[in-house]
Amino acid sequence: MSQGRVIVIGAGVIGLTSAVRLLEANYDVTIVARDLPGDLTIEYASPWAGAHFRPLPVTNAAEALEQNLIRETYAEFEKLASSDPSSSVRIVPGIEYFDSPSKSYTDLKEEAGFCTWPEFRVLAQDELPGKGAGPIKWGATYRSWVLNSPVYLSWLQRQVELRGGRVIRHTLSAIPEAVFIASEQLKESQLEFVAVVNASGIGFGDPASFPSRGQFLLISNPCDATVSYQTADGEAFVIIPRPLSGGTLIGGTKEVNSWNPTPSEESTAGILENVAKMYPKLLTAPSNDPNGEPALHLLYPTVGRRPMRKGGLRLEKEISSIVLPQSGGFKSKTKELKIVHCYGAGGSGYKLSWGAARRVVELVGEP
Ligand SMILES: Cc1cc2nc3c(=O)[nH]c(=O)nc-3n(C[C@H](O)[C@H](O)[C@H](O)COP(=O)(O)OP(=O)(O)OC[C@H]3O[C@@H](n4cnc5c(N)ncnc54)[C@H](O)[C@@H]3O)c2cc1C
Ligand SMILES: *[C@@H]1O[C@H](CO)[C@@H](O)[C@H](O)[C@H]1NC(C)=O
């Protein structure tokens, strides 16, 4: 029996994953979103992501909380990698290189979180690029996952539709509008509205939300691992293979509060130069000249915006009231509406997704 109707605002990785779990918990789900899988607009963060798993040291309570969601998601992606290859999720070695790592990485204390992941191991000096004689002085490896984000988003949408969920394209001006849009489509149904899930990413109207611009490059070279490198002067570079013949995404910048939609040539040159140095195995001959000079083969640069939020992911319930017109529109009544917020995932939306979705279902079910 249906538990009632839930409207999910947003069809990014957070909204779609929440919708799958809500459908599995027997809610009737309608997604209302401006951007859908297949779209490539800069306001839509999800298709621009790598996306990969990378452990980060835990230094405070908020990070510890997110770490739990990340562990739940990790377990789900491990399952998906073997049970459904069409999801594009794959398990690959993760590699970390540092010129001068902070103590939070090298300490290797259990509670710091960094060294607690499967197959974690500190690399020997002769396994480092330049065998430790170059700028890279420390490294580690662990078991990671990667996915091809545009393919994975379409897979998620299919999971929603296979479970009976509906997807409506609409740009909302306010949250209550979602209730009207969904009701228009479902006139015949008498199901009671239970909640609206606000998974609108950077969305609308929260002064705590801000973008972090990420410029990456899609290259045609394949790669067998996901690699991250932090230089002594605080720059970071990553290599993320995109399974199912998606090439490899390399990058990338982290530019807080930059709304610039145009790729910068300087960033492109910097990424190509540093990535070639950090993982020479990635360089291959041109596809039309097997004896040619090994190189990185640029397809195109990409620009995305991570939906950041001061205080991190907002994952909580709010009761607000909504005015509903009665038949004919001459009278109206006020109704309570439960909003479950799940936005502001910043640079970790994929890593958090399955854990956050489980929490969304709990919040929807609470009185
Ligand atoms: C370059 C880059 C690399 C990244 N790499 C990684 C990575 O390796 N690992 C990782 O975990 N994360 C990564 N991220 C972060 C990840 O992509 C985001 O955290 C995640 O995509 C956020 O998903 P979301 O569903 O919250 O938002 P979005 O994907 O932005 O989706 C928001 C949804 O809400 C809808 N919406 C918004 N406003 C309205 C409105 N007014 N009316 C109707 N609908 C609306 C949008 O149309 C869209 O459907 C990366 C991000 C970028 C940009
Ligand atoms: C819904 O989420 C967006 C972020 O995507 C936020 O800006 C907005 O304030 C939220 N809506 C409400 C009513 O809180």
Q: CB–CB of 343/6 below 8 Å?
A: no
Residue of 339, 342, 337, 302 lying closest to 322 (CA atoms):
337
Residue spans per domain, the chain: 1-51+147-207+310-367, 209-307
- The number of beta carbons lying within 10 Å of the beta carbon of residue 11 is 29
Q: How far apart are CA 193 and CA 190, in angstroms?
A: 9
Residue 210: beta bridge partners?
A: 308
Could you tell me the distance, in angstroms and rounded to a whole number, from the CA of residue 200 to the centre of ligand 2? 7
Atom of ligand 1 nearest to the CA of 35: 47
30 lines ligand 2 (CB under 6 A): no
Interval between CA 218 and ligand 1 midpoint (Å) = 18
Q: pLDDT tens digits, residue range 320-360? A: 988 776 666 677 788 888 999 999 999 999 999 999 999 99
- Note the CATH architecture for domain 1-51+147-207+310-367: 3-Layer(aba) Sandwich (3.40)
Alpha carbon distance 39, 16 (integer Å) = 14
> What residues of the chain score a pLDDT lower than 50?
none
Cβ atoms of residues 263 and 227 within 8 Å = no
Contact 49, 345 (CB under 8 A): no
Q: Are 351 and 310 in contact (CB under 8 A)?
A: no
CATH assignment, 209-307: 3.30.9.10
CA dist 40 and 145 (Å) reads 23
> pLDDT at position 101, please?
87
The tens digit of pLDDT for each residue in 15-61 reads 999 999 999 999 999 999 999 999 999 999 999 999 999 998 888 88
Identify the H or E element spanning 67. helix 61-83
Token pair of 282 as six digits = 């990635």
Evaluate: CB of 301 within 6 angstroms of ligand 1. Answer: no
CA distance 148 to 10: 20
Report which bound ligand comes closest to the CA of 18. Answer: 1
Residue 93: count other Cβ atoms within 10 Å of its Cβ: 13
The DSSP call for residue 284 is B
Instruction: Say which ligand is closest to the CA of 198.
Output: 2
* pLDDT for 327: 67
Query: CB-based burial of residue 265 (10 Å sphere; 0-12 exposed, 13-18 middle, 19+ buried)?
Result: exposed
- Distance (Å) from CA 304 to ligand 1 centroid: 9
Any ligand 1 atom below 6 A from CB of 94:
no
Please work out whether the CB of residue 144 comes within 6 Å of at least one atom of ligand 2. no
- pLDDT for 347: 95
d(CA 327, ligand 1 centre) in Å: 38
pLDDT at 308: 96
Q: Is 211 in the pocket of ligand 2 (CB under 6 A)?
A: no
Q: Does 1-51+147-207+310-367 match 209-307 in CATH topology?
A: no
pTM score, two decimals? 0.95
